[in-house]
Amino acid sequence: MARNIVSREKDYSQWYLDVIKAAELADYAPVRGCMIIRPDGYALWEFIQKHFDEAFKDTGHVNAYFPLLIPMSFLEKEAEHVEGFAPECAVVTHAGGEELEEPLIVRPTSETVIGHMYSKWVQSWRDLPILINQWCNVMRWEKRSRLFLRTSEFLWQEGHTAHATREEAVEETLKMLGVYRDIMENVLALPVLAGEKSEGERFPGADNTYACEAMMSDRKALQAGTSHFLGQNFARAFDISFQNSDGELDFAWTTSWGVSTRLIGAIVMTHSDDDGLVIPPRVAPVKTVIIPISPDETFLESDLLPRAREAQEKLNVVLGKRSVKIDTAFHMRPGDRFFANIQKGIPLRLEMGEKEFERGVFQAVRRDSGERFDIPWEEVEERVPRVLDEIQNDLYFKALEFRKQNTFRVSDLEGFKEVFAARGGFVEAFFAGGREEEKLIKEETGATVRCFPMDNDESGTCFFTGKPGARLAVFARSY
C-alpha cells in the first residue's frame, strides 16, 4: 500500500484527496473553494473534451462563446431559475475603477444570456433549430468544496438548443442524454443509469431533467451529466419567438445539457485503488510508459534508451501522438519510479532492465490488475493496443459488476431502511411520491431519488405512498 495514500477502507474522503494529490491532478487555489487543474489533470480533461466535442459535432452541434458576466436582472426573469442560482452567485459590483450601475453575476450557467441572444437571432422557423454548445468556466459559490466534485469554479460544456416544436426539443434532450451515456460507458468506462430526475431534483426552470448516474466505489451515487427539457419557460422569459411555417407567432422550445470536470472525480472514484489513480486507456493522455532500468549509464544510453525510443515511436503511431512516455527519472530508485507511474494511473507499464534486454522483451504490467507478462519487442505494436482494449473492457465490467452487487430491490420502507443502513448502494423501489415525500425519505434514510431509469418499464405499488402504477426509482446517497 502507498505511504502517501490512506486506504479507502480507512478514510474514503481522504483517500480521494490523496489519490488526486499523488497523481498531481489538481490543487486547491488561494481563493476559497476554487481549484487549480494541474497539467496531468488538464490533459485528462482535454481527452474527455475531445470525445464529447466530436460527438456533439457529429450530431450537428456547433460551438460558440457567450459572455462570462450576466446582468443580475436577466437571472430574475425566470422565477425558479433565480431562486435556484442567486444564493450561489459571485457578483461583480465594480469595474474599470467605478461602481457599476447594475451588478453583474459571474455565470453559474448561461440559459439567461443565451436566451437573450436567441431572441435576437430567431425570427422565423427557418432560423430553427439552433444547436449550440459552449465550453467554458462557471462559478457557483461553495462553502464546502471538494476537488472536481464541488468547487466554486469549474469547467464544463453547456449545450443550449432551440426548436420549433415540443417533440423536437424532447427528442434533442433524450438524444444528448444518449450521447452522454455512450461516451461515459464506452470511453470513460463508467456504467451509468440514464433516467429521468424526480421533481425535487429538477434543474431550476426545467420542465424535466434527465441524468446519467454512476455508482462510486464507496457505493454513493454521482450525477455525471444532465440534460434538461426546458419547455417554453426560458423562451417566454426571454421572448424567443418565431413565425412558424403557417405564419403564426410561437415561442421556441429549448433544451440545455452539460457535463463538467466533475467527470474526473467520477473516474477517480470508480476505477482507482489504494495504490492510487487508475485511468481507462481510451481517455488516458499517457496510455503506456516505458521504463528502462539500469545502474549502468552507458548501457542505458547505448542499448536501453534506443530500444525504448523505437518502441515509443511505433506505439505513438498506433495509439496517437504523445500517447507513450519514456520514464527517464534515472536519479530515482527503480521502486520509486514504478510507484510514481502507478500513482499516475498510466494503464500499462513496459519495464526493461538488463534481463529483459537480453531476452528481447518488455515486461508489461497492467495498472488495473497488476498482471505481469512479457511482450517481445517485435510484437509491441500489435500486443499493446490489444492489452489496452482488454484493460478498458475489464474496468467497465468490473465497475458494472460492482454496481450490480450493490443494488438492492425493496418493496416497503422498513426493508428500505434495513437494506440501506446495512449495505448502502443503490436501492430500487417503485415510487410515486413528489417533493414532499422525497424530503421525508431523505430525512428518514439519507437517500434521494437518483433517477427513474429509462430502460426499465416495470411498474408497481409505491413503497412509500402505496399508490399503484408507480415507476421504478433508484435511491442512493449522492455526491
74 near a second copy (CB under 8 A): yes
How far apart (Å, rounded) are the C-alpha atoms in residues 379 and 358?
16
The reply on whether position 88 binds a second copy by CB under 8 A is: yes
Q: Considering only the stretches 114-122, 200-208, 286-294, 304-312, report the one whose residues sit in contact with a second copy under the rule CB under 8 A.
A: 114-122
Residue 59 and residue 127: Cα distance in Å, rounded?
18
d(CA 234, CA 237): 5
Which residue lies nearer to a second copy by CB, 133 or 217?
133
The CA-atom distances, in angstroms, between 195 and each of 335, 396, 406 are 45, 19, 18
Distance between CA atoms of 209 and 365, rounded to whole angstroms? 43
CB nearer a second copy, residue 64 or residue 440: 64
State yes or no: residue 407 binds a second copy (CB under 8 A). Answer: no
Does residue number 298 form part of the binding site for a second copy (CB under 8 A)?
no
Nearest to 47 by CA among 329, 322, 316, 360: 322
CB of 321 to a second copy, least distance (A): 8
CA–CA separation, 127 vs 133, rounded Å? 17
CB nearer a second copy, residue 66 or residue 299: 66
Is the separation of the CB atoms in 174 and 225 below 8 Å? no
| Beta bridge mates, 426 | 407
In the set 76, 142, 239, 303, which binds a second copy (CB under 8 A)? 142
The number of C-alpha atoms within 13 Å of 347 and in the hemisphere containing its C-beta is 27
For a second copy, the closer CB: 117 or 308: 117
Set of cell numbers at residue 440:
421525508
- Residue 67: C-alpha distances to residues 24, 111, 137, 359 (Å): 31, 12, 11, 60
Q: What is the DSSP letter of 339?
A: H
Residues 29-68 within binding reach of a second copy (CB under 8 A): 29-31, 34-39, 41-43, 45-46, 57, 62-68
Q: Which three cell numbers stand for residue 407?
A: 443494488
Would you count residue 27 as binding a second copy (CB under 8 A)?
A: yes
Which amino acid is located at 359 in the chain? R
Binding part of the chain for a second copy, among 11-19, 139-147, 215-223, 289-297 by CB under 8 A, reads 139-147
* Residue 144 found at the interface with a second copy (CB under 8 A): no
The least CB distance from residue 368 to a second copy, in Å, is 25
CB of 35 to a second copy, least distance (A): 7
Residue 305 in contact with a second copy, rule: CB under 8 A: no
Question: Residue holding cell 460551438?
Answer: 63
Query: Which CB sits closer to a second copy, 31 or 249?
Result: 31
Using CB under 8 A as the binding rule, whether residue 193 contacts a second copy is answered as: no
Rounded Cα distance, 363 and 358, in Å: 12
d(C-alpha 324, C-alpha 317), whole Å: 10
Q: Which is nearer to a second copy, 42 or 430 (CB)?
A: 42
SS3 of 221, please? strand
Closer CB to a second copy, 92 or 170, in the complex? 92
Could you say whether residue 83 binds a second copy (CB under 8 A)? no
- Residue position matching grid coordinates 534506443: 306
Is there binding between residue 70 and a second copy (CB under 8 A)?
A: yes
Least Å from the CB of residue 248 to a second copy: 19
In whole angstroms, give the CA distance from residue 98 to residue 222.
43
Shortest Å, Cβ 115 to a second copy: 11
* Smallest gap from residue 119 Cβ to a second copy (A): 11
149-168: which residues touch a second copy (CB under 8 A)? 152-153, 155
116 backbone φψ class: left, alpha, beta (φ>0; ψ -120 to 50): alpha
The nearer residue to a second copy, 39 or 468, going by C-beta atoms, is 39
- Shortest CB 468 distance to a second copy, Å: 44
Q: In the beta sheet, which residues pair with residue 365?
A: 349, 372
Among 90, 170, 318, 454, binds a second copy (CB under 8 A): 90
* Residue ranges in contact with a second copy by CB under 8 A: 27, 29-31, 34-39, 41-43, 45-46, 57, 62-71, 74, 86-97, 103-104, 106, 113, 116-117, 120, 126, 132, 136-137, 139, 141-143, 152-153, 155, 322, 331
